[in-house]
A and B are shown apart, each in its own frame.
Chain A
Amino acid sequence: MLSKVFFLYFASVIVLTSSLAITRRNAMHGVLYMLLMFFHLAGLYLFLNAEFLAAVQIIIYAGAIMVLFLFVVMLLNLREDVQKSRFIRPWIIGFIISSGVMVIAIKAARSVEVVGTGRWGIKEIQSATHIGAIGQELYTHYLYPFELASLVLLVAIVGAIVLAKKRLK
């Protein structure tokens, strides 16, 4: 019951802030609504017993990605009076595409089965805590993808510096 109340609160605020984020003329306002949305998404993850995702949502999305978004908005110096015509003119095309995406998302969500058994069932995750369970899996079974992640991050560092330094000099 209590979790349903919280779910309805989080879900309605997420829907509201994300629709505000994509409809604001001022890009800065859109980014700030997105920040609010990220925080509520983190709350939603907490109620799904996914503490690590909640932490990632706040540390990376609300922290780092948001800074990147704000800097990009400031870098491009977007002004509210700059208005471009829509990419695809007739609204019916956008409507068909977006409702098609929605149908696929609903079908995918319906096909998900929560089994709750196996090595990491819901009980085991709750006793080991979500973060502990991720740690035990990631640093033993998924060691290779974990080390590959550091290479991906290395490519991001080098790529950003190579692209930006060319402009500076």
Chain B
Amino acid sequence: MPGTYVPTDYLPVLVFLIIALGFGLGALLFGFLLRPRRPYAEKLSPYESGMLPEGEPRQKFTVRYYIIAILFVVFDVEAVFMYPWAVAFNKIGLYAFVEMMLFILILAVGYIYAWRKDAFVWD
């Protein structure tokens, strides 16, 4: 029946999440309960290596980050295709190997193009 499936294999993930969340929240809670609270104006002001902070904290990022992000998305999608391929590899064998090599080859063309166009250079 659909809608009644419980992924029991993922119970360790749930336990891990609960421990991680409890550890983080517990550390914050104990710190909050134990630490002394004596705020004054200088303590609450933002600290920037001893200098007086000037200008906007948010600045425009260069467009280079955008290229890096796009390339990351593309190669991430490529990596995701390898995931079911690796799981089903025993069932399909050499045929799957050849087609994945073709897939990687086509994307390698894009990788070489990006390399030649200095997309990875940060001057």
Known: A59-B76, A60-B76, A136-B91. Contact between A154 and B81, CB under 8 A? no
Docked CA distance A160–B64 (Å):
11
Docked CA distance A67–B6 (Å):
31
> Contact size class for A?
35 or more
Known: A67-B72, A139-B99, A160-B71. Contact between A154 and B63, CB under 8 A? no
Docked CA distance A6–B5 (Å):
11
A120 is an interface residue with CB less than 8 A from chain B: no
Q: Is the CB of A75 within 8 A of B88?
A: no
> Contact size class for B?
35 or more
Q: Is the interface of B mostly helix, strand, loop or mixed?
A: helix
B46 is an interface residue with CB less than 8 A from chain A: no
Enumerate chain A residues within 8 angstroms of B49, measured Cβ to Cβ.
none
Q: Is the CB of B66 within 8 A of A71?
A: yes
**Which A residues, 134 to 159, have Cβ-Cβ distances below 8 Å to chain B?**
134-136, 138-140, 143, 146-147, 149-151, 153-154, 156-158
**What 3 A-B pairs are tightest by C-beta distance, nearest first?**
A135-B88, A135-B84, A157-B110
Could you tell me which B residues sit within 8 Å of A by CB distance? 2-7, 10, 58-61, 63-67, 69-74, 76-81, 83-89, 91-92, 95-96, 99-100, 102-103, 106-107, 109-111, 113-114, 117, 119
A/B interface sample: 25 pairs, CB < 8 A: A7-B3, A63-B76, A64-B72, A65-B73, A67-B69, A71-B69, A74-B58, A75-B61, A75-B65, A79-B58, A129-B87, A135-B86, A135-B87, A135-B88, A135-B89, A135-B91, A138-B84, A139-B100, A147-B102, A147-B103, A147-B106, A157-B70, A158-B110, A158-B113, A160-B74
